[in-house]
Amino acid sequence: MPPTAPTPTDTTTNPSLKAYEDKVRAQIRDAKAKLEEYKAKAAQKRTQVENKTIERLNAAQLNLEQKVQALKATQAASLERAKADIDAEVAKLRTSIDELTSEYRTAMKQ
């Protein structure tokens, strides 16, 4: 009997994966909302470096959305690794947004 191929994970039948996906999507939405807020508030005042930072963070946020979407096709054996990668990317995105927030607040006080 030939070995069976691993099956992709299914968020509709895996409640813990669905909860994880929902949690990450909420974090991505929060990051996206903050980025949009900064883009709107600082559009006239920001520098070229700030523009590039915002563009980089937007790209990171889109990349995260793609990774979360790809979870549906992830093999069960690779699921924990994929989740760890996503968690690391979320942490980096949140740190970058916090840094941008701090820089923005400092610039607005001047």
**pLDDT for residue 70:** 86
- 65 within 8 A of 88, measured Cβ to Cβ: no
- pLDDT tens digit string along 30-79? 988 988 887 777 666 666 777 777 888 888 888 898 988 888 887 888 88
- Higher-confidence residue: 64 or 101? 64
- On the question of pLDDT at 23 being above 90, the answer is yes
**pLDDT for residue 44:** 63
**pLDDT for residue 108:** 67
